[in-house]
Structure 1
Amino acid sequence: MSDDTQNPDPSADQTTSEPLSRAIGERYLTYALSTIMNRALPDARDGLKPVHRRILFAMRELRLNPTGPFRKSAKITGDVMGNYHPHGDAAIYDAMARLAQPFAMRYPLVDGQGNFGNIDGDNPAASRYTEARLTAAAEALMEGLTENAVDFRPNYDGTLEEPVVLPAAFPNLLCNGASGIAVGMATNVPPHNLHEVIDACLHLIKSPDARDDTLISIMPGPDFPTGGVLVESRDTIAEAYRTGRGSLRLRARWSVEDLGRGQWQIVVTEIPYQVQKSKLIERLAEVIQIKKVPILADVRDESAEDIRIVLEPKTRAVDPDQLMAALFRVSDLEVRFGLNMNVLIDGRTPRVCSLKEVLRAFLDHRREVLVRRSNHRLDKIAARLEVLEGYMIAFLNLDRVIEIIRYEDDPKAVMMAEFKLTEVQVEAILNMRLRALRKLEEIELRAEHENLTAEREALMAMLADEGSQWSRIADQLRETRGQFGKSAPGGQRRTDIAEAEEVGPIDMDAMIEREPVTVILSKMGWIRAMRGHQPLDAEVKFKDGDGPFMAFHAETTDKLMVYGANGRFYTVPANNLPGGRGMGEPLRLMIDLPNDAAVIDMFPWRDGVKYLVASKSGDGFIVNSGDILAQTRSGKQVLNGDALLCKPVTGDHAVTVGENRKLLVFALDELPEMARGKGVRLQKFKDGGLSDVTFITLEQGLSWKDPAGRTRREDDLTEWLGKRATAGRMAPRGFPQDNRFN
């Protein structure tokens, strides 16, 4: 045989082929399931994700008890990563730091020493600078781990074991909340008050078929660690808890502080959950800078240990409720919390659960823990009773036992044969110390035997009766409630629940102080507003290479309409314009006007005014002022085509002139009113297009200025009078060479 036959290539049969779609599908499904079950979604039983569970278990293995010493966070992170969670140390430390943050966790599970971040959004110090240990709440979650309360599984390399789930003495999922994004699903459970959650559990134990409304009356809503006010109706909250999905509005807590002499300021003492204070202050400062809420004058952060954000109104005549209602709209002083109770049931099945289902999952877990711990205790009692019975036989036959031990070659076998003892009992007797042979020890053994026998009977009776089991669970929950409930430090409800007070419609324009301004727009598109009505021909400085384009008088309460060559109207509030001390700001930073579209006109918006919009090709129509207001930066498309002009409609006739110098006068009623479109033909041109349009009262004739500045007029316009879309006649003698009326 050849060498190839004797030694086949080991890689020859290891290559397989399969469709790419199937290969990708199988691998992505594996990844998705791993993310859902082992990373992003919490377990309904203990409310923890694997990383948090492993952190707490590793800290327990390090004996970091609530009353013990702290250990370096780097040591804890290293143990978690090396023993149970083979991922990045930064991710593990971030997860541990969050468990220690009182503004993130309603009942912190890690007691941190050092800089673990703050509500401003600053990151924790490096793990080598901070220390940590467990809290009493974390200890309660792990109570019973040594008593076979839960299953253990091998760690990632099979050298150690870790718990599949923690025993959880309280419903941590609801008490501390959870959030996470998996593949194709997410979860967002708000924190709640432990006292209320346990009260709901006790009611569910008493009445397993309890109605959702009853549970919600016991648990009225979330209780966030940062406090605030939940402004949602009871029906909205109830519906969210019934379905497991909903949106809840959370507002900052504020009050009016009297400064005397009629002066006042607003003080914010609690901000919504998960809102970074520094970013909130930045947003409020931006609102002041761009004058989005004109009645707000200043914002100051005077926070120390507690939050204190001071908001100063512009005048004392401002209504505080109106001011706060406006700020709730434009800042994170009010946020929406998207409730989504998508959790793992029994650690395997992701499901969006109602409040009742989440409570039931916890209670069923507690019952399983109770049964397992009781059976474990029974095994311990049985083993101890076996030893005690051996001890008592030894005490009854003490002299013979001593004789056997002294003279027999194999005392173990002789004692087992003579006294009918088990191997365990004989080993215990042989290991007994001489000091245990005193009379008092015999009395103590008999008392211990009686107590253990009574305890065994009680445990067996409890395991045989479901009602007794639930009674024991209820007692345990009451004990936990006493430890962490309303009577404990920090156990009182922090978030108030109230329906939002109705504030009248907020007229943002009414908040703006009405002042005259002169708006100046340069050729290069830089805009500014100078205080007061300055002379329009006054000399103004511009950037090098720039110059004046247009100037007009307006007021700070005006909406300014910008008409672009693309046929779109843009709205710019006059109070948002930069002041006149500098060169202004580019108009294109305020609106989304394309670079290739020039500004054709700009004017203050007035209600009830009609405008003629026309294109270079000579098409146009009349549009009402109400149809040109734009609500967004992108503006509002009105004229389809290359825009030429926009002019307010007056008089009873329109006068058009083309690039061919032909002039046409026709009645205004021939022009249609439209909100958007191409329009109709104004004047017919063989070559060229439209130059200008003006409006006149026919009886008063047409006037214009010649190059010398003298006013010329034509009283009899019969020669040029015609129907719309006709060619017209050559302009009268002396008409401007640029074919413009003004």
Structure 2
Amino acid sequence: MATDLTDPPDPFDAIVDAPFDSALSERYLVYALSTITARSLPDVRDGLKPVHRRLLWAMRLLRLDPASGYKKCARVVGDVIGKYHPHGDQSVYDAMVRLAQTFALRYPLVDGQGNFGNIDGDNAAAYRYTEARLTQVAIDLMAGLDEDAVEFRPTYNGEEQEPELFPGLFPNLLANGASGIAVGMATSIPPHNAAELIDAAIMLIDRPEADDAAVLAHVQGPDFPTGGIVVDPPTAIAEAYATGRGGFRVRALWRIEREKGGGWSAVIDQIPYGVQKGKLIEQIAALINDRKFPILADVRDESDADIRIVLEPRSRTVDAQTLMDGLFRLTDLETRVPLNLNVLDHTRTPRVMSLREALKAWVDHQFVVLRRRSEHRLGKIADRIELLNGYIVAYLNLDRVIAIIRAEDEPKPVLIAEFALTDRQAEAILNMRLRSLRKLEEMELRRERDALSKEQAELQALLGSEARQRTRLKRDLGKLRDRYGPETALGARRTLIEEAAPARDIPLEAMIEREPITVIASQRGWIRAMKGHVDLAATDAAKFREGDGPRFAFHAHTTDKIILAVAGGRFYTIGADKLPGARGFGEPLGTMVDLEGDGGIVTLMKAPPPDRRLLVAASDGRGFVVRVGDVIAETRKGRQVVNPRTGATLRLVRPIAEDDDYIAAIGDNRKLVVFPLSEVAELSRGQGVQLQRYRDGGLADARSFRMADGLSWTMGGEQGRTRTEADMSPWRAARGAAGRMPPTGFPRDNRFG
């Protein structure tokens, strides 16, 4: 026996020599298109992705309609992955679970029985434990599948047929929304109210050329299954819908619940869409535990079937709106739901549509479905009328028909020849059972034929008239609206549309518990904060390191900012709540800010309000006015505000009272000059202008004052008396003058005190 010794073909002979970039791009393009069209983006006509469409189709074939019993989800998932969707069972089950979650879908397509997860973020039970069936919404979405309303295609293995899309009259894309990430593109469509969409669709049937504003006259905005409040202004909502891109700010719905004795709590009844309640509670609890939001004392989850989150303020004097604004900023009680209306159009091409375009594409699809269903029905009517005509002939000639059947070996051609019947008519007569002969009553047959003929004429008129098609579609949509109208439990709007300003900036008092403190800093730069406002004279007796002593002491609150300025002209800002306690010697300022190379400390003070002004001056007599807001810098490196000239250093930083109008400057040479505050430039940083001119020495001190009140200075001594010179006109000069000797009794250290 001869043996075939031919070697099998070498697989490497099939290798194609091609540039790597072109080969990679071709294959990646195939993958990208597959992901876009067959996985991630929904079809604008039925709003479904293939996995959802196949799930519902498999459930329909299992006869899981709302009136039937439930079947195990494992059975459904098995049918889907075995016949239609060759992917992982877990991914298919996850998609099925989402279709059943009332907090995820505005109009659920699957009626689940068992644990399908919850809004806390808990997962559903395994598919061997849960059961499901279709909802009425899914039935409406698939209505017409048996009437040739859409095209069918072979499944992946060619053994079954599946619909390319669903024909149903329910506006699923916009009513339930969709989200997905493809290759190079994504989609995010929030859910809407079905009744509003149907009203807008009816308007588009009458006015196909209507603009976006006409559609928004019916569609208020998103309608989330979890409720909440959309707080965007109408212009922002209109812009998002007109372009198909944008987003919506969604806040939790809350109310104040009064208690006996004047106390109150904030109760949250609805949370934003897509937020897991469990994680939201954790966020709020973390703020309390970390003391990042002191005006909130406690959070309790008292939810059962309905959401109820109770927020307890620190005291009854807390402003409720401030409390909620802080939580809107710090937690997911306010979120942004994106809008990216990227869908597959009727040619399976991905593109971003406006709300009007998406709704118009769905309406156009419904006209196609209406015509296809009408044509299918016409075919069925024609077939039935043909059979009825044959039955009438058989009834009128019943004896002869029976005789032919009894006598002839091949009765069909004889019947066709004698009574002018068609092949189908003859076959139908021959296939009738004897018991059916008694039903062949001429009047009943003619009545059915007449009714079908009338319906046939109406359908032919419908197909021949666009006006009739519009009327018919509006009538069908009207019936659907009755099922999902605002007066029904399922159709009632859940999300409020109320414009609101962005959440206010959180006051510092809300973030830090306001407590009085006394700030003490030593000559060597050690700082600490004593609780309460102690007598500043007693701070000199505080403990300091050997060789160190007191330098700065002032009263403040934990909500204040502390300004530190150094000789190099750099300013630092330290939160008073971050200062070390008074136990021990405190901590060096260098551990809080970077002081390297900036020279000694010039001033340490409580920061005035940001709109107040400061007088800053260097040792060479140059200075300027700066706003407090321009020197605040809450970073370790601070902010360079004054740029002293070579050899000079920052000498002083003094607050300027609101009604001050003059500046007094005195030099080391004990010369005093007074000039208008208006002559000094206001800068955010720099060297400034010459305040006083010197032949030797430099600036000793400067301050602002009100000329009408005169110039005051501290006399010193235990009593701390002050002296005021009412008439300062002898020292009045232009800015930059040398000045003259100060009034009698001015301190010898040339300081105003």
**TM-score interval w.r.t. the shorter chain?**
0.7 to 0.9
The 8 Å contact of residues 290 and 576 in structure 1, kept in 2 or not, is answered as no
Once residues 586 and 213 of structure 1 are traced to their aligned partners in structure 2, the CA distance between those partners, rounded to angstroms, is 64
2:242 matches 1:242: yes
The 8 Å contact of residues 571 and 639 in structure 2, kept in 1 or not, is answered as yes
Once residues 580 and 164 of structure 1 are traced to their aligned partners in structure 2, the CA distance between those partners, rounded to angstroms, is 76
Q: Which residue of 1 aligns with 2:185?
A: 185
Q: Which residue of 1 aligns with 2:459?
A: 459
2:617 matches 1:606: no
Per-residue Cα deviation, 1:616-645 (whole angstroms, up to 9, x for no partner): xxxx999966444235799767799xxxx9
Once residues 167 and 84 of structure 1 are traced to their aligned partners in structure 2, the CA distance between those partners, rounded to angstroms, is 19
Per-residue Cα deviation, 1:278-336 (whole angstroms, up to 9, x for no partner): 22222222333444444323222221111111122223223322332232222222222
SS in 1 for 2:265: strand
| Distance change in 2, residues 1:600/1:401 (3 Å) | farther
Q: Which residue of 2 aligns with 1:329?
A: 329
1:419-458 equivalence runs, <5 A: 419-438=419-438, 441-458=441-458
2:75 matches 1:72: no
Once residues 587 and 388 of structure 1 are traced to their aligned partners in structure 2, the CA distance between those partners, rounded to angstroms, is 103
SS in 1 for 2:514: coil
C-alpha displacement at 1:79, in angstroms?
Answer: 1.6
Paired AA for residue 508 in structure 1: L
| Distance change in 2, residues 1:134/1:603 (3 Å) | farther
Per-residue Cα deviation, 1:73-114 (whole angstroms, up to 9, x for no partner): 222222211211112222111111111111111101111111
| Distance change in 2, residues 1:538/1:26 (3 Å) | farther
Q: Which residue of 2 aligns with 1:400?
A: 400
Q: Which residue of 2 aligns with 1:253?
A: 253
The 8 Å contact of residues 395 and 441 in structure 2, kept in 1 or not, is answered as no
Once residues 456 and 636 of structure 1 are traced to their aligned partners in structure 2, the CA distance between those partners, rounded to angstroms, is 86
Once residues 579 and 417 of structure 2 are traced to their aligned partners in structure 1, the CA distance between those partners, rounded to angstroms, is 106
The 8 Å contact of residues 618 and 652 in structure 2, kept in 1 or not, is answered as no
Once residues 256 and 412 of structure 1 are traced to their aligned partners in structure 2, the CA distance between those partners, rounded to angstroms, is 85
2:137 matches 1:137: yes
2:56 matches 1:56: yes
The 8 Å contact of residues 41 and 187 in structure 1, kept in 2 or not, is answered as yes
Per-residue Cα deviation, 1:473-524 (whole angstroms, up to 9, x for no partner): 1111111111222233221111111221698876434775531247899xxx
| Distance change in 2, residues 1:339/1:426 (3 Å) | same
Q: Which residue of 2 aligns with 1:102?
A: 102
Once residues 174 and 254 of structure 1 are traced to their aligned partners in structure 2, the CA distance between those partners, rounded to angstroms, is 27
The 8 Å contact of residues 113 and 132 in structure 2, kept in 1 or not, is answered as yes
The 8 Å contact of residues 609 and 648 in structure 1, kept in 2 or not, is answered as no
Once residues 588 and 597 of structure 1 are traced to their aligned partners in structure 2, the CA distance between those partners, rounded to angstroms, is 11
1:158-169 equivalence runs, <5 A: 158-169=158-169
Once residues 105 and 47 of structure 1 are traced to their aligned partners in structure 2, the CA distance between those partners, rounded to angstroms, is 13
Could you tell me which runs of 5 or more consecutive residues in structure 1 were left unpaired when the two chains were aligned.
541-549, 615-619, 656-666, 680-693, 701-742
Q: Which residue of 2 aligns with 1:556?
A: 558
Q: Which residue of 1 aligns with 2:157?
A: 157
SS in 2 for 1:332: coil
2:617 matches 1:629: no
| Distance change in 2, residues 1:20/1:511 (3 Å) | closer
The count of residues paired between Structure 1 and Structure 2 equals 656
Per-residue Cα deviation, 1:524-547 (whole angstroms, up to 9, x for no partner): xx999774469989899xxxxxxx
Once residues 144 and 162 of structure 2 are traced to their aligned partners in structure 1, the CA distance between those partners, rounded to angstroms, is 14
Q: Which residue of 1 aligns with 2:385?
A: 385
1:169-318 equivalence runs, <5 A: 169-318=169-318
Paired AA for residue 629 in structure 1: I
C-alpha displacement at 1:432, in angstroms?
Answer: 0.9
| Structure 1 vs Structure 2 CA RMSD | 4.6
C-alpha displacement at 1:136, in angstroms?
Answer: 0.5
SS in 2 for 1:158: coil
| Distance change in 2, residues 1:599/1:519 (3 Å) | farther
| Distance change in 2, residues 1:64/1:15 (3 Å) | same
| Distance change in 2, residues 1:531/1:56 (3 Å) | farther
Paired AA for residue 557 in structure 1: T
Once residues 486 and 200 of structure 2 are traced to their aligned partners in structure 1, the CA distance between those partners, rounded to angstroms, is 15
1:482-501 equivalence runs, <5 A: 482-500=482-500
Once residues 89 and 560 of structure 1 are traced to their aligned partners in structure 2, the CA distance between those partners, rounded to angstroms, is 61
Paired AA for residue 633 in structure 2: A
SS in 1 for 2:14: coil
The 8 Å contact of residues 666 and 701 in structure 2, kept in 1 or not, is answered as yes
| Distance change in 2, residues 1:633/1:340 (3 Å) | farther
The 8 Å contact of residues 621 and 674 in structure 1, kept in 2 or not, is answered as no
C-alpha displacement at 1:200, in angstroms?
Answer: 0.8
Per-residue Cα deviation, 1:254-295 (whole angstroms, up to 9, x for no partner): 111111322212111111111122222222223334444443
Once residues 585 and 242 of structure 1 are traced to their aligned partners in structure 2, the CA distance between those partners, rounded to angstroms, is 59
| Distance change in 2, residues 1:104/1:114 (3 Å) | same
| Distance change in 2, residues 1:145/1:611 (3 Å) | same
SS in 1 for 2:452: helix
SS in 1 for 2:116: coil
2:43 matches 1:15: no
The 8 Å contact of residues 653 and 696 in structure 1, kept in 2 or not, is answered as yes
Could you tell me which runs of 5 or more consecutive residues in structure 2 were left unpaired when the two chains were aligned.
545-551, 644-648, 655-663, 673-680, 689-698, 703-712, 714-753
* Greater alpha carbon shift after TM alignment, 566-575 vs 200-209: 566-575
Once residues 441 and 142 of structure 2 are traced to their aligned partners in structure 1, the CA distance between those partners, rounded to angstroms, is 35
Once residues 188 and 394 of structure 2 are traced to their aligned partners in structure 1, the CA distance between those partners, rounded to angstroms, is 63
1:297-696 equivalence runs, <5 A: 297-346=297-346, 348-438=348-438, 441-500=441-500, 507-509=507-509, 513-517=513-517, 531-532=531-532, 554-560=556-562, 573-575=575-577, 605-607=606-608, 626-630=629-633, 649=653
TM-score, L = length of structure 1:
0.76
Once residues 673 and 385 of structure 1 are traced to their aligned partners in structure 2, the CA distance between those partners, rounded to angstroms, is 97
Paired AA for residue 205 in structure 1: I
TM-score, L = length of structure 2:
0.75
Per-residue Cα deviation, 1:566-601 (whole angstroms, up to 9, x for no partner): 99977554447899999x999999x9x89x999999
Matched residues, percent identical?
A: 55
The 8 Å contact of residues 570 and 598 in structure 2, kept in 1 or not, is answered as no
Once residues 376 and 477 of structure 1 are traced to their aligned partners in structure 2, the CA distance between those partners, rounded to angstroms, is 20
Once residues 633 and 377 of structure 1 are traced to their aligned partners in structure 2, the CA distance between those partners, rounded to angstroms, is 79
* Greater alpha carbon shift after TM alignment, 374-383 vs 276-285: 276-285
SS in 2 for 1:218: coil
The 8 Å contact of residues 294 and 510 in structure 2, kept in 1 or not, is answered as no
| Distance change in 2, residues 1:167/1:579 (3 Å) | farther
Q: Which residue of 2 aligns with 1:688?
A: none
| Distance change in 2, residues 1:251/1:392 (3 Å) | same
The 8 Å contact of residues 562 and 599 in structure 1, kept in 2 or not, is answered as no
Paired AA for residue 606 in structure 1: A
Per-residue Cα deviation, 1:191-244 (whole angstroms, up to 9, x for no partner): 111111101111111222223222211111111111111112222222222222
The 8 Å contact of residues 325 and 504 in structure 2, kept in 1 or not, is answered as no
* Greater alpha carbon shift after TM alignment, 244-253 vs 187-196: 244-253
| Distance change in 2, residues 1:82/1:563 (3 Å) | farther
The 8 Å contact of residues 84 and 155 in structure 1, kept in 2 or not, is answered as yes
Once residues 479 and 633 of structure 1 are traced to their aligned partners in structure 2, the CA distance between those partners, rounded to angstroms, is 68
| Distance change in 2, residues 1:339/1:632 (3 Å) | farther
Once residues 391 and 406 of structure 1 are traced to their aligned partners in structure 2, the CA distance between those partners, rounded to angstroms, is 18
| Distance change in 2, residues 1:610/1:275 (3 Å) | farther
Once residues 425 and 600 of structure 1 are traced to their aligned partners in structure 2, the CA distance between those partners, rounded to angstroms, is 113
* Greater alpha carbon shift after TM alignment, 297-306 vs 196-205: 297-306
C-alpha displacement at 1:381, in angstroms?
Answer: 1.4
Q: Which residue of 1 aligns with 2:695?
A: none
Per-residue Cα deviation, 1:335-384 (whole angstroms, up to 9, x for no partner): 22222211111151112111211111011111111111111111111212
